Each structure stands twice: as C-alpha cells, then as structure tokens.
Structure 1
Amino acid sequence: MLAAVYHGRRDVRIQEWPDPPAPGAKELQLEIERASICGTDVEEFVSGPHLIPIDAPHPASGHVGPLVLGHEMVGRVVAVGSEVTGFTIGDVVVPGSGVSCGTCQWCRAGRTNLCASYFTLGLHADGGLAERVNVPARISRSVGACPVDVAIMAQPLAVALHAVRGTGAEPGASVAVIGLGGIGSLAVAAFTARGIDTIAVDISPGRLETAGRSGASLLIDASREDAVAAIRRATGGIGADIVLETAGTPKSLETAMKAVSRGGHIRLVGLHRDPSPLNLTRLVLDEIQLSTSKVHICDQDLPEALAMLHDHPQIAATSIGAVIDLADVVPDGLVRMADGKATGKIVVKF
C-alpha cells in the first residue's frame, strides 16, 4: 500500500509500505477515506523527531524506526478482530488518536488521556496517512449520519472540546483565544456553538479570517496592534475572564498573562518547546487559575464532536482550507503549513 512515511527531519516519503496484518482480537482494520495533517505532524517534519521513536523503541507502543504519519482519520471497516462487538464490515468510523490501556488508575478514573501507557497513532505507531491501518475498536466511534468530509474534523474538534470544557465557560463570559491554528479555530467554533462570544488573536490574516467565519466576535491581528490593550479595551479594561492559549510560544503566554482578568482562568493547550517566563506573583495575588489540556478523552469528547458536527456541519466547511491527494502530502501539505501558507485544515482524500 501507499503511505506517507516519516524517516526524519524534512524527510517524509510517499512510498510503498507493508499492508497491516490481520487485526488483533480487539482491533479494526480500516480502509482510509480521509485523513488530515496536524500541526504536530508539521513540527515533527520541520524540527523533529521530538515524539516519533526513530532511534529507540517507544516504551508503550514498542515501535522504532520510520513510521506512517497521521492521527486524524476516517475509515471504512474492512476487517474486525475476533473479540470486537458493535462494529461490522462496512461501518465508517473515526478513531481517537490516543491509545490507552484501560486498566491503570488514570484510565479507571476516566482520564484516559493521562494513561500510564498512553501512545498516539501516527506519532508512536503507524497512523492513518496510508491506505489501511489497524486501530483499537475501543477508541473508535461510528460517524453515524456525518459525511466523511465533515467527520474528518471529529478528532481535532474533540481536542478543542476537551480544552473548552475545562475552561468552565458559560454564555456571558469574556473569552479570548490566542493562536488560531487548527485547534484554536475549532475552539472558537466550539465556544460559538455553546453561545459564548470569543475574541480571536493571531498574526495571520488568513487564520483570523477563518476565526471570523467560525464565529469570533472580535478579531485582533497581533502583528499590527497591541493584543493585550485590544483585549482590555474590549472587556471594559478588566481583561478576559478566560484565555485559551494554543500557540505554545513565550509571546503568546505573556499575552495571556497580561490579558486575563483578576480571578480569571488561563488554559494552556499549545506545547511549549522552549522555557517561558511565568509571573507567579500575579497568579497568586490575582487568584488567576492556570490549567492545561492534553488531547481528548475519547468517551467524552469524540461523541460530542461528532454530534456537534452533525448539528453544525459548517464547522468543517469553515475549518478545511484544502483537500489534496496522498501523493501531494509533502509539498502541498507539510511544506505549505510549515511556510505559513495554509489558512485552514489540510485534508487528504483517498
């Protein structure tokens, strides 16, 4: 089969790759219909490997060496493991990206994203940028009435929903989203679907335009104006009740710290590769809550994402910037995103 295989920094090849074996007892084998490219894939391409186990086996998945990318996918079931129930050949499903053990203390508490043996398809084991892949049935959900071109947004939307849920935001709260990549723009859409107005901040006019179509009530181009001052003006001088930070840069964290109100809540989603200064004195004296959000909890977030996409299919139409073929994943996907030329999610059609 053909697959997009990661070999190292700036080295992703569209090549023949062995077909997956017959699915394990608790697995499904999917024939991929749609996949999409995530910012994490781009980071691995540009400056990795950070997460991909090229040189040493991953402690949970056991994988080592070149790896098929892709943790956002929709596929049709073509084979079912012997112990799987609830799925039949021909079903169209979305798998969650993270594989958890189901037995550790975090899994038993329902926090499967913190599993002691957690690993991610497409980063720690072969993923969905290929014609076929095996996935655990336990993390897969039927797309129901969602068309595949809508359902492809379910996994990234689940990540956004997990972050949004953790803010505790309700209608009437002032919310700022800093960073409008794939997750940031979907967070704007998720807040909008819950009746919550958002202030959207980025340095890309294209991303700001997407956030506007996703329902943001105010767009701030941080390359042209002082984002902190603009947020404070929009909130009567007091700052935002909630700031969702998805960019993962020292500057975005600094903006979040200065733009949040007293007693407010900063929720971090972006991965910070470099150390960032943090004004702990202000956190304490102003009782600012700081929390983090990691991927999604499959049982909670994936069904909600599919339901939201069913009710609001325009979320997918607004978020998708281009649809490409597998053969074009490197020039029209990874490189385009790395160069900042993509204004929406890039979907791969099989």
Structure 2
Amino acid sequence: MLAAVYHGRRDVRVQEWPDPPSPAPHELQLEILRASICGTDVDEFTSGPHLIPIDAPHPASGHVGPLVLGHEMVGRVAGVGADVTGFAVGDVVVPGSGVSCGTCRWCRAGRTNLCATYYTVGLHVDGGLAERVNVPARISRSIGDASPDVAIMAQPLAVALHAVRGSEAEAGATVVVIGLGGIGLPALAAFTARGVETIAVDVSPARLDAAKRSGASVLIDASRQDAVAEIRRATGGNGADIVLETSGVPQGLATAMNAVSRGGHIRLVGLHRDPSPLNLTRLVLDEIRISTSKVHICDQDLPEAMALLKEHPHIASTSIDAVIPLADVVPDGLERMASGRATGKVVVMF
C-alpha cells in the first residue's frame, strides 16, 4: 500500500509500505477515506523528531524507526478482530488518536489521556496517512449518517472540546483564542456555539476571516496590531476572563499573560518548545490561574464532537483549507502548513 512515512526531519516520503496484518482480537482494520494533517505532524516534520520514536523503542507501543504519520482519520471497516462487538465490515468510523490501558490509576479515574502507558496512533505506531491502518476498536466511533468530509474534523474538534470544557467558560464570559489553526479555530467555534463571546487573535487575515465566519466578535491581526492593547480595549480595560493559547509560540504566551484579567484563566493547548519565562509575581498577586489541556478523553470528547458536527456542519467546512491527494502530502500539506500559507486543516482524500 501507499503511505506517508516519516524518516526524520524534513524527510517524509510517500512510498510503498507493508499492509497492516489481520486485525488483532481488539482491533479494526480501516480502509482510509480521509485523513488530515495536524500541527504536531508539521512540528515533527520541521524540527523533530520530538515524539516519533525513530532511534529508540517507544516505551508503550514498542515501535522504533520510520513510521506512517496520521492521527486524524475517517475509515471504512475492512476487517474486525475476533472479540470486537458493535462494528461490522462496511461501517464508517472515526477513531480517537490516543490508546490507553484502561486499568492504571489515571484510566480508572476517567483521565485516559494521562494513561501510564499512553501512546498515539500516527506518532508512536503507524497511522492513517496510508491506504489502511489497524486501530483499537475501543477508541473508534461510528459516524452514522454524517459525511466523511464532516467527520474528518471529529478528532481535532474533540481535542478542542477538551480544552474548552476545562476552561469552564460560561455564557457572558469573554474568551480570547490565540492561534486559529487546526485546534484554535474549532475551539473558537465550540465557544461561540455555547454562547460565549470570543476574541480571535492570529497573524493570518485568511484565518481571521474564518474566525469571523465561525462567530468571533472581535478580530485582531497580531502582525500589525498590538494584540494586548486591542484585547484590553475590547474588554473595557479589564482583560479577558479566559485566554486559550493554541499557537505554541512565545509571543502567544506573552499576549496571554498580559491580556488576561485579574482572577482570569489562561489555558495552554499549544506545545511550547522554547523557554517561556512567566511573570509569577503577577500570577500570584492577580490570582491568575494557568491550566493545560492534553489531547482528548475519547469516551467523552469524541461523541460530543460528532454530535456538535452533526448540529453545526459548518464547523468542518470553515476549518478545512484544502483537500489534496496523498501524493502531494509534502508540498501541498506539510510544507504549505509549515510556511503559514494554510488557513486551516489540510485533508488528504483517498
């Protein structure tokens, strides 16, 4: 089969790759219909490997060496493991990305995203940027009568919903979303669907236009505006109640720190690779809370994401920038996103 295989920094090849074996008792084999590229994939491509176990076995999955990318996918069931129930060949499903053990202290507490042996399909084992892939049945959900073109946003929206839920935003709060990429834009749409006023911050006019169509009440182009001053102006000088930081860049964190209100909440979603000094004195004196959000909890966030997409399918159409064939995944996918030319998700159609 053809697959997009990660070999190292700036080295992703669309090549022949072994077909997955027959599904194990707990697995489904999927014939991929759609897959999308995540900012994490781009990060691995441009500056990795960070998470992909190229040189040493992953402690949970055991994988080492080149790996098929792709942790956001929709597929048709082509094979069903021996003890799997609830799925049949021909069903169309969307899997979550993370695999958890179900028995450790974090799993028992319902925090499966913090599992002691957690690993991610497409980062720690072969993923969905391929014609076929095996995934655990327990992290897969039927898309029902939804279109694959809508369902492809379920996994990234699940990540966004986990971040939104943890922000504890209520109607009447003012929320700033910094970074309108594959997680930030769906998160903004999820906030507005809950009746929360949102302020969108990015450096891309095209992404800001997408945020406007997703319901943002204030748009701030940080490439030519003082984002902190504009946020303060929009909030009567008080600052935002909640700031969701999804960009992962130092400027985004600095904006969050200076634009949040006294008693406010900063929620970090973007992965910050650079050192990020914080004004701890202000955090203490103004009782500013910082929390973080890691991926999603499959049982909770993935079904909610599918339900939200069925009610608001425009979240998918607004969030998708381009649809490309697998052959073009490097120039029109990874490179396009790395250069900042993409205004949303890049989806690969099989």
Partners of 2:146 and 2:314 in 1: how far apart? 12
Match of 2:29?
Answer: 29
Tell me, in whole angstroms, the C-alpha distance in 2 between the residues paired with 1:99 and 1:127. Answer: 12
C-alpha distance in structure 1 between counterparts of 2:225 and 2:333, whole Å: 30
Amino acid at match of 1:227: A
Please state how far the C-alpha of 1:248 moved relative to its aligned partner.
Answer: 1.1
State the TM-score, normalizing by the size of structure 1.
Answer: 0.99
Asked if the contact 1:250–1:277 (Cα under 8 Å) also holds between the matched residues in 2, the reply is no
Is the CA contact 1:36–1:70 (under 8 Å) kept in the aligned structure 2?
A: yes
Show structure 1 runs of 5+ residues with no match: none
> Does the alignment pair 1:173 with 2:173?
yes
Corresponding residue of 2:2: 2
Aligned partner of 2:278 in structure 1 is 278
1:160 and 1:183 in contact (8 A); partners too: yes
Aligned ranges 1:126-205 → 2 under 5 Å: 126-205=126-205
* Contact 1:207 1:344 survives alignment (8 Å): yes
Counterpart of 1:213 in structure 2 is 213
CA distance in 1, matches of 2:176, 2:252: 12
Deviation track 1:305-329 (CA, whole Å, cap 9, x = no partner) reads 0000000001111111110000110
Runs of 4+ aligned residues of structure 1 deviating over 2 Å after TM superposition are none
Helix, strand or coil for the counterpart of 2:62?
A: coil
Q: Which amino acid aligns with 1:205?
A: P
In 2, distance between residues paired with 1:55 and 1:6? 12
2:60 corresponds to which letter in structure 1? A
**What SS class does the counterpart of residue 93 from structure 1 fall into?**
strand
Q: Determine the structure 2 residue equivalent to 1:223.
A: 223
Aligned residues: 350
Secondary structure of residue in 2 paired with 1:94: strand
Q: Give the AA of the match of 2:251.
A: K
Q: Is the 8 A contact 1:99 1:120 kept in 2?
A: yes
Q: Which residue number in structure 2 is paired with residue 244 of structure 1?
A: 244
Distance in 1, Cα, partners of 2:214 & 2:182: 12
Aligned partner of 1:86 in structure 2 is 86
* Counterpart in the other structure of 1:339: 339
Secondary structure of the structure 1 residue equivalent to 2:183: helix
Q: Is the 8 A contact 1:232 1:240 kept in 2?
A: yes
Identical counterparts, % of pairs: 82
1:193 CA drift (Å)? 1.0
Alpha-carbon distance in structure 1 between the residues aligned to 2:214 and 2:181: 12
2:97 paired residue number: 97
**Structure 2 residue aligned with 1:309:** 309
Secondary structure of 1:209 counterpart: helix
CA RMSD, Structure 1 to Structure 2 (Å): 0.6
Structure 2 unaligned blocks of 5 or more: none
Partner letter of residue 90 of structure 1?
G
Distance 1:79 1:27 in 2: 8
Residue 125 of structure 1 and its aligned partner are, at CA, apart by 0.4
Alpha-carbon distance in structure 1 between the residues aligned to 2:311 and 2:225 = 36
